[in-house]
Amino acid sequence: MSRHTGEIISGEKYWRQTFEAILEQPLGTWFADMEGGSNVSELYEALRGSTWFEHLVKCEVIRLSCVPRPEKLGGQIRDYPPLICVRRVVSVRIPDATLVDERLRVGIDLDLEGHGRWSGDVSLYIYSQRALQKERAKAAWMAENIRRIEKDERMLPRPSTHYRVARS
């Protein structure tokens, strides 16, 4: 299903959306899996002008394709890599590391299990360091409250930094 329109998608649209969602989700920003995510935003901040940037983004795609992550489904825990469908990372290209509307265009060429070769451009949202700190704090707050609810404890109050106070 398209995350933008809600319509059922398949083929090219499905693969593009799947790869974008996994590659642009920074580590520690999803309350259900605080240890999961991608390092692409951090790599961009640290290495965007370096010749290493494109190579390390490829290493990140490889990591997400082959290093298992514990996934909690109900009471079960199963180990799968986030990009379980990727059999081989053929190439990753970043022709221009300039962000357009805070998004980085990355060309990827992958061999997909049971589907063959997939090549295309993905548009990845790149979080600033400030935005990363805010998203990680929000996810940690949510994860802690879920833990408290599961143990029948009181929830933490909502951090005041999340509120906008109108001044008169």
Q: What are the tokens at 131?
A: 């935005």
In the chain, which stretches have pLDDT less than 50? 163-168
- In b/e form, how buried is each residue of 21-34, taking b as 16+ CB within 10 angstroms? ebbbbbbbbbeebb
CATH number at residue 23: 3.10.450
Per the domain annotation, does 18 fall within a domain?
yes
Sequence-distant (≥ 6) Cβ neighbours of residue 3 within 8 angstroms: 17, 21
pLDDT value for 75: 55
- Is residue 136 assigned to a domain? no
CA–CA separation, 72 and 32 (whole Å): 9
Distant-in-sequence, close-in-space partners of 148: CB < 8 Å, separation ≥ 6: 154, 155, 156
| Tally of structural domains, the chain | 1
- Beta strands, E only, 35-85: 69-73, 76-80
Is 5 among the domain residues? Answer: no
Is residue 103 situated within a structural domain? yes
1 part of a folded domain = no
* Contact (CB, 8 A) for 38 and 30: no
Rounded (10°) angle between helices 11-24 and 52-66: 110
Domain extent at residue 98: 11-127
Contacts of 69 (CB under 8 A, 6+ apart): 33, 35, 36, 79, 80, 81, 82
Nearest to 122 by CA among 13, 41, 9, 5: 13
pLDDT of residue 168: 40
Domain assignment present for 75: yes
- How far is it, in rounded angstroms, from Cα 102 to Cα 104? 7
